[in-house]
Every structure is written in structure tokens, then in C-alpha cells.
Chains A and B, each alone.
Chain A
Amino acid sequence: MSSSASTVLDFQTASLREINQTLHDETTGSFTIVNPRGAHAVAAGIDSDIQVEIDGPVGYYCAGMHQRGSVVVKGNASTGLAENMMSGTVRITGNATMSAGATACGGLLVIEGNAGSRCGISMKGADIVVGGTVGHMSAFMAQSGNLVVLGDTDSDLGDSIYEARLFIRGDVASLGADCIEKEMREEHLVLLTELLSKAGMAAEPRDFKRFGSGRKLYNFHVDDIDAEVARRTEA
């Protein structure tokens, strides 16, 4: 994105409301947001094919519920980066704290640095690629989509996971309940190659391990001792 072609939105002269309303009203074009200084909910609720670049750190829920278009954060982000994003692309050059990509349903979230705890929590179909490490309880209750981590993970990865796929290159501190290592088949290598390419990350897919659900928590186990006793008595 060429900054000269962008409309500049400056937090020194415009409010969060004014900046977001501009992004919601426009359906095309490029925008550069300057002086965000950790503001919350920056570029939340975009629903068009615009390109947004944010020069500096952002607070909570940057690019929340993002649809279509792209958001690039040149800096760090706090809690809930791209939470529940639906489509499009969100990329951050720095680190993200808790719950990055929480419940994200679609699109591509790229975190070039590290992500904190609960990265990809309850994700529902998005692709999340993290260049560094992720914190504990990442991919907790992850339902679908792909989480790719080039670095290490902290404890309880994929606790209570459903059908999401986790590709981890580094060390896994520990797996959460019902998360197991799975065979990396050819189809997964193809998928991982594609994800790394889309994210612009240089890594060898064969260096990764795949994790997913053991599917042992999907249904309650209900015993029926009385029925068994009755059968034995009949026998």
C-alpha cells in the first residue's frame, strides 16, 4: 500500500468515532491511521474492500469483527485483535496480547511476532499464522480453521478442541484435555504450504507437527448398570 495514495486519519485531530465512521462509510480506497497510541476498537467493524494501515500500537479489539478488506498494524496490539473476524486479512508486525483471533470465523490473521494466552480461542473457521510463540490455553475450544505457530506454545494447547487443526513447529509445553498429536498427511502438508505462503512466512512444512481433537469429549458417557445386570440375569 502506498502511503501517498492513502487518506490519513489522525488520532490527534479526529476521534475514534470519526475515524471508524469514515472506515465504515467508505467502500474503496486506502487509509493510514496515525497516532493511535493504544486506542481501543480501532478499525473495528470494517465491512468493505478498503485497505487500512495503522502506524503504531493499538489497544483492545483492533479490527474486531473484520470483514473483507485488509488491516495492517505496524506495532503491537492488545487483547482481542481481530476477534470474530469473518473474512479479509489482518496482519500485525509486532506482538499481540490475549485472545488474538478469538472466535474468528474466516479470513487470515497474521501475527509476525508473538501472541499471548488464548490465541485462537473458540476459533470458528479462520486461519491464524503466528511467527513467534503463543501463550497458554491457545486454541481453547477451537471449533474449526487452522492455527499455525512457527515458535513454541505454552501449556494446555488446544484444550477441549473440536475440529480445528493446529500446526506447531516449536515445542509444545503441554496439551490440553482431548488435544492429541495427529499424523501429518500429504493433504496437511499441502494445506500448511498454502497457509505459510499466504502469510508470507518462510518455513518448511515438514518441520511442523499437527494436533487436533481426540474426539473423546464430544458426548457424555452414560452408563447403565441396571441394564447390564438385567442382561446378565437373563443370560
Chain B
Amino acid sequence: MTTPAEWAQRESHTFDRNVIAEIRRAANTGIYRIRGWGAKRDLPTLDDLVVLGASMSRYPLEGYRESCGTDVVIGEATSAKPVRLDIPITIAGMSFGSLSGPAKEALGRGANAAGTSTTTGDGGMTQEERVHSKTLVYQYLPSRYGMNPDDIRNADAIEVVVGQGAKPGGGGMLLGQKITERVAEMRSLPEGIDQRSACRHPDWTGPDDLEIKIIELREIVDWQVPIYVKVGAARPFYDTALAVKAGADAVVVDGMQGGTAATQDIFIEHVGIPTIAAVPEAVRALRDLGVHREVKLIAAGGIRSGADVAKAIALGADAVSIGTAALIAIGDNDPVYEDEYRQLGSTAGLWDDFQAGTDPAGITTQDPGRMARLDPMIAGRRLANYLQVLTLETQTIARACGKSHVHNLEPEDLAALTVEAAAMAKVPLAGTGWIPGQ
């Protein structure tokens, strides 16, 4: 039983010890907390959905034998060289600068082995990633750091980045510790500055302009490769519709669980909407325009398992994109470096100071000694294995639903475990036919 003295000493819900610690930190330093990773708060996720396997009313496919397609084709209607992926899981945009050269190489090697694509980031294309990525998507960002037409022509697709899930409406950030001579030269910036990228494109300001921009990009590459538009999940119905109107071959919708190399903590935790809420709205826009499964939807933000992949596809995505999970697969937060994580004031599994350049695993750093720890061949194999597991898991679920291709998964194969998830995902609450708001 609580004593009156204990009750008097109770912790405030509004000002709990974490809030108090952050206020004290802010008062001491005068700067907002900057970190990597994605949202850490408890958000509605795809875990709040379950898959309805086949039974009397549905035939399952033989789980280990019958074929279940996983391929994705992007840009067939517009491009001489569409992107053809063997699996519906792509590697999200992550820059050289935020990541080390060996990390970019590892991502390329792993993606190649699995038959999927990698993506550049805010800082241009490096030889490490071009040479080691069979299918490389070139991000066209507001900063245009390292942007040049040779690299654009050397890419297999172009992704016009309007925003990302960790910070819709915000620009990139790379702190001075990671602006080495090579990174500075690629970005035409002074070495050692705290780089804060533009959040808006310098030469277009709305969807009508973007339509013309996409025409320009297509002209520059002679209509050879597809063009994606990536948005941070905020208003996915309108953003998706406008991206389609602008001429995108694929729309990447990145939920607020999407990771970043460096951003204000307050931004990561409070701006944007969760992936589970974003995907159905994007699909609604595609269906309204009659282009669902034609203009491809790539869902991103907190994808971890084949269950996440299957659920995102069942909600209507054509593919997913992974970033944080890919970094973990290649060795991020590896317990083998526990002593060093502790020296950094953290522990393996919790370390998120990607901005600091001190990554013991050699992934989010430009320090030569740390980078040398990452063997891109071994790390690439780890990623390939992980992608294989995601694919097998996705197929397992699809077959259990009787689907001979993962794209045959549909909302009817899902139920929600919470009222909130039912409302956001627009699938019935489990055991009922009730979809809130419908």
C-alpha cells in the first residue's frame, strides 16, 4: 500500500524524469537534441494488424513448394529501361557522408545478391555504391549536393525527394565531425561545417512545377529510366495524388518510423504520421486516380520483418523500403562492440548518435580506423541473408493466404487488433466487420 509520504513523492506524468532530464540538458547547452535512428516513441505499427490465413473459405498454397512471385517492375509505361526487382524490398536512400564507403559497398553487395536496388542520398553518387549496386536509384534532393548529369545518366532510376519520414518538411543534416575532406569536396562545402541542407527544392515550388521538372529529368536521361517521388508521410492522400499528377512512375511514402542519420529529436518524434496510417491513404489516392498497381507505391518507415512486408503489400503497397533494418543487418549496434558503446554512454541496441561520427561498427562514420572495421563482403552477405529471410517470410504469409504472387495480397486478408489500427488501416477490427468511420 502506498504511504502518504510515497504519494507525496509520486512522479509527475507531465514532467517525468525523462522530461526533466531533457529540460536540464537544453538549459545547459542551448541546442536541441540531435540524433539518428527513427521515432522511438510507442506508435501504432503494422504489429497492430494480423493476417487472416486461409481456412474453409480460402485455399492456401503449399507453403514450401508452390510458386509465389515476388518481382516488381517500375516504369514500364515511360522508360526504355524499367527497374526490375526480384523482391519487393528495396534499400532506402542513405548518403555517403552519413554512411561510410564500406557501408555503402556492403548495401550494394547485399542488394545485388538479393536482386534489389540501393539508393544514393544527400551527397551524390560514389563509385563504391555505383560499382557494387547493380540497380542504383539516384536521389534528387533539395540540396543537390554532388548532383551532376553524368551520375544521373549513370543511374537506374531517379528519386525526386520531397521529404522523408523522419522529418517531413525538414532538410538534411550532417554535422562537422563527418564533413571530411572527401565529403566536403563532394558537396562543395567547407570542411568541418555543420551542414544543414535546404528543405525545399531550389527551382520548383509545387506540383505544377514538379511536373515540368520531371519532364526535364526525363529529357536529360532521354526517357531511359523511371522517376520516383519520395514524400514524408504527412498528408499521403494529397501528396500521392499530386505526385501521380506530376508524372511519377513510383511514389515512396515514408512513415514517421523512418530513420535518419541526424535530425532534431523533437522532429523525429513529433512530425509526420505512422506508416500504418500512411499506406492506406496513399493507396486511396492511387485507386481514385485509377492507377493502383500501375504507378507503384513503395512503403517505408519501420519495416522489420516479412510480416511487415506482407501487411504493407496487403494494404496496397507494391514494395517496401528498409533503412534502419538494413543497417542493423550489416552490423549497426553489434554487441561485439559493447565496451565501446558503453564508453560512448550507451549500449549495443540503444546507440543512436549517428551524427557523431564515432560509430564503433564503422557504418555511420567517416573515421578511417572505424570504417576499416566493416568488411563489406561479410556485411553484404549478412544483408543478403536478411533480405532472403524477409522475402521467405513474406512468401510464407502470402501462400498461407492462397496467393501465387505477393501482390495478390489485399486488405481483405487483414484484420486489426485495435480500434485505432482499424481506423487507420481501414480494415475491420478482428472478429468484427467494423471499420471505424465506414
Q: Please list the residues of chain A having a beta carbon within 8 angstroms of any beta carbon in chain B.
A: 16-17, 20-21, 24, 40-41, 44-45, 47, 59-61, 64-65, 67, 79-80, 83-84, 86, 98-99, 102-103, 105, 118, 121-122, 124-125, 140-141, 143-144, 162-163, 218-226
Contact = CB atoms under 8 A, between A and B. Distances in A.
Q: What are the 7 closest A-B residue pairs judged by CB atoms, nearest first?
A: A45-B220, A80-B203, A65-B149, A99-B203, A41-B216, A103-B144, A223-B30
Nearest to A79: B203
Interface of B: 27-31, 143-144, 147-150, 152, 175-176, 187-190, 192-194, 198, 202-204, 209, 212-213, 215-216, 219-223
Contacts of B152: 65
B28 A225 contact: yes
Contacts of A79: 203-204, 209
Contacts of B220: 44-45, 64-65
Contact of A122 (B28, B143, B175, B223): B143
Contacts of B221: 45
Contacts of A83: 202-203
- Identify which of A79, A122, A219, A221 gathers the most chain B CB atoms within 10 Å of its CB: A122
A60 B209 contact: yes
B30 A221 contact: yes
Q: Is the interface of A mostly helix, strand, loop or mixed?
A: loop
Given A41-B219, A45-B219, A121 B194 contact: no
A222 B31 contact: yes
B188 A125 contact: yes
Contacts of B213: 60-61, 80
A123 B31 CA distance: 29
Contact of B202 (A24, A47, A65, A99): A99
Contacts of A122: 143-144, 198, 202
Contacts of B203: 61, 79-80, 83, 98-99, 102-103, 121
B212 A41 contact: yes
27 contacts: A21-B222, A40-B215, A41-B216, A45-B222, A60-B216, A61-B213, A64-B216, A65-B148, A65-B149, A79-B203, A80-B213, A84-B148, A99-B203, A103-B144, A103-B202, A121-B203, A122-B143, A122-B144, A162-B189, A162-B193, A218-B194, A219-B176, A219-B193, A220-B31, A220-B175, A222-B31, A223-B29
B147 A16 contact: no
B216 A44 contact: yes
Contact of A219 (B28, B148, B194): B194
Contact of B190 (A44, A61, A99, A218): A218
Contacts of B216: 40-41, 44, 60-61, 64, 80
B198 A162 contact: no
A16 B204 CA distance: 20
Contact of B29 (A41, A140, A219, A224): A224
Given A61-B212, A220-B194, A20 B29 contact: no
A161 to B, nearest CB: 12
A17 B223 contact: yes
B22 to A, nearest CB: 15
Contacts of B219: 16-17, 20, 41, 44-45
Contacts of A20: 219, 222
Contacts of A124: 144, 188
Nearest to A164: B188
A154 B149 CA distance: 31
A16 B143 CA distance: 28
A14 to B, nearest CB: 14
B148 A105 contact: yes
B148 A24 contact: no
Contact of A222 (B29, B190, B192, B198): B29
- Identify which of A24, A41, A67, A121 gathers the most chain B CB atoms within 10 Å of its CB: A41
B198 A141 contact: yes
A216 B204 CA distance: 29
B365 to A, nearest CB: 19
B30 A105 contact: no
A41 B203 CA distance: 13
A86 B150 CA distance: 10
B204 A80 contact: yes
Nearest to B30: A223
Given A40-B215, A45-B219, A144-B188, 19 more contacts: A44-B219, A45-B221, A45-B222, A64-B220, A84-B149, A86-B149, A99-B203, A102-B202, A121-B203, A124-B144, A125-B188, A162-B190, A218-B194, A219-B194, A220-B31, A220-B194, A222-B30, A223-B31, A225-B28
Contacts of B194: 218-220
Nearest to A65: B149
A51 B363 CA distance: 46
A144 B202 CA distance: 16
- Identify which of B148, B150, B152, B223 gathers the most chain A CB atoms within 10 Å of its CB: B148
